[in-house]
Structure 1
Amino acid sequence: MSSTAAPELAAESADRARAIYDLGNTAMFACKADPRFHYCLYVPPAVGKGGKVELLVAVHGTSRTSFLEFRDGFAEFGRWNNCAILCPIFPVGVRGDGARSGYKYMAEGDIRYDQVLLSMVEEVAGKYRQDWSRFAMFGFSGGGHFVHRFAILHPRRLWAASIGAPGSVTLLDPDRDWWVGVRDLQQKFGIAFDAEALRRVPVQMVVGDADLETWEITHKEGGAYWMPGANDAGRTRPERLRALQQSFEAAGVSVRFDLLAGVSHERMKVLGHVKDFLADHLARMRRG
């Protein structure tokens, strides 16, 4: 083999590996900032050609299985709208205790899930040479928990937020502590609530009108996330999401509320409505 052939073969191998593992439907990666957490992506062809694209973060529910459904379900949207899809994975029992719901409430022991997610975004933005200082976010069920609470904490990082069927909601109530309200946001997270920034985020709330099971979302005294007022936003997911809508709108946030006829707790049946919402606001943002 000639001295020039070896570098050429190495470059060809690197290009092939990048095409297989880093573009399109990617491999699963450990987060460099905290390898307990993982992510995968859909990266559209424009990135492989040096183009600039937007970013959508799609957050799984309690089962964690939906991260691949969301990655693949948004892939066509990402391809034709020049938008990468980042799907974080927050495992059950990451602290060795079997707990399922820590990520939904942003803080669990020494873990700040909002900061973990921001580390992932920073990592992939550097890798793909993109400016993802602002991005869109969608989540369903447990992911809907995450998205609306992330929006409350970090509205300046979002160009859109789609909140799907969360089981419990944090209202913008200055008279109640986190997670029911936002009174102690500064003490809890070191972040002051920024209503003005939140008002600039286009928000969608989406839930099926047949999503009426309450066994998993009714907080009981003694439970891990029980606190006074835990069930005050309503009994069912549609009721609780309406309460969140009213709370956001009272703070001046514009909310598109999609109540889907005949749909129960079925995440894939909401994606078409989410794509419509995101495509609309992506076009508006690009028009300036």
Structure 2
Amino acid sequence: MPLIEQLTTLPKNHPHLRLLTGKTPFFASTLDQRFSFSLYVPKGHSFSSQTLLPLLVIIHGTRRQTGKYFDKLKSFSEDHNVVLLTPLFPAGIDDPEDLHNYKNILYNDIRFDLILLSMIDQASRIWRIRTDRFYLHGFSGGGQFAHRFLYLYPERLAGVSIGAPGRITQPDTNTSWPGGLGNVESIFGIRGAPNYAAIAQVPIQLVVGEDDRNTSLLQLAKKRNKAETEAEDRVERIQWLKSTWEEYAIGSELATVQGVGHDGIKCLAPVEEWFVRLIRG
């Protein structure tokens, strides 16, 4: 009997159910055990219900501070009956000095898109969550992952919030991945990608702190990638992304957070407000 069916037979105060509600343990990915994920499951979730709760996936930044997002978004999860899922993509996979592996989605032979989709499927065998379409948010390195995932899987996203990505994949097909989308169909095996019409159907939020102007890390990335936009800082880059997407009929909302620099937690208020609007319809 599947675990999710076994759980329906347990009383509500059973210790096993308490472990699987609220902040859960980390679960190793069954696709690749080098990676793991954790969830925050609101009290309104019921293992015996046929109602599937909306899922918000949060992609961490370079520091991998997943716990801070759960602490900040706990009330959001409880108030709106949304399950949160955060994958952990550790630094030092293959290369012990590497910090950035997941951001381009493809790293050596690792497909972080498939790992994430597998985690969501794995979680659905335990919790009552909607998996056909889910919400996605990422800031900084997570913002890099989020906008690249949008290019590949727009049909899976009910909405995506993209925070202050330092490096941006341009929507043109004249430049190869990750600078552009020229070869995404061949390297990811996704027929018809990029599908601009499908991307344009996804609600998109862009978010950045108004004081996110430090360019030291961005200049290092620019030297490594000649396809980098000429925009100097993250504020200019996210504005450039918005205007460039408009040329492809891809609309987005831009939230600039006053008095905030490069801080994903301090930029969460407009992110929460935006997702509440989507969830309430």
TM-score normalised according to structure 1 size: 0.88
Query: What residue number does 1:72 align with?
Result: 71
Greater shift, 274-283 or 43-52, is seen at: 43-52
How far, CA to CA, are the matches of 1:264 and 1:220 in structure 2?
19
Say whether residues 1:39 and 2:40 are aligned partners. no
| Structure 1 unaligned residues grouped into runs of 5+ | 1-9
**1:17 shift after superposition:** 2.2
Contact 1:103 1:113 in 2 (8 A): yes
Query: What residue number does 2:170 align with?
Result: 171
SS for the counterpart of 1:127 is coil
Contact 2:58 2:136 in 1 (8 A): yes
SS for the counterpart of 1:94 is coil
How far, CA to CA, are the matches of 1:229 and 1:244 in structure 2?
14
Say whether residues 1:215 and 2:226 are aligned partners. no
How far, CA to CA, are the matches of 1:81 and 1:16 in structure 2?
25
**1:93 shift after superposition:** 0.8
Contact 1:37 1:88 in 2 (8 A): yes
Say whether residues 1:148 and 2:144 are aligned partners. no
**1:210 shift after superposition:** 0.6
**1:219 shift after superposition:** 3.6
**1:186 shift after superposition:** 1.2
Aligned-residue CA RMSD in angstroms?
A: 1.9
How far, CA to CA, are the matches of 1:214 and 1:280 in structure 2?
33
Query: What residue number does 1:126 align with?
Result: 125
Greater shift, 50-59 or 113-122, is seen at: 50-59
Q: Which runs of 4+ in 1 moved over 6 A?
A: none
Tell me the alpha carbon deviations over residues 198-255 of structure 1, each in whole angstroms, 9 at most, x when there is no partner.
111100000011101111122457x7xx23222x241100111111111222222220
Contact 2:46 2:128 in 1 (8 A): no
SS for the counterpart of 1:267 is coil
Which of residues 2, 27, 30 is equivalent to 1:29? 27
Residue type of the alignment partner of 1:276: E
Query: What residue number does 2:87 align with?
Result: 88
TM-score normalised according to structure 2 size: 0.91
Aligned residues: 269
Query: What residue number does 1:57 align with?
Result: 57
CA gap 1:97/1:254 in 2 versus in 1, 3 angstroms: same
Contact 1:233 1:243 in 2 (8 A): no
Say whether residues 1:15 and 2:11 are aligned partners. no
How far, CA to CA, are the matches of 1:283 and 1:252 in structure 2?
25
| Structure 2 unaligned residues grouped into runs of 5+ | 1-8
Q: Pick the structure with greater CA Rg.
A: 1
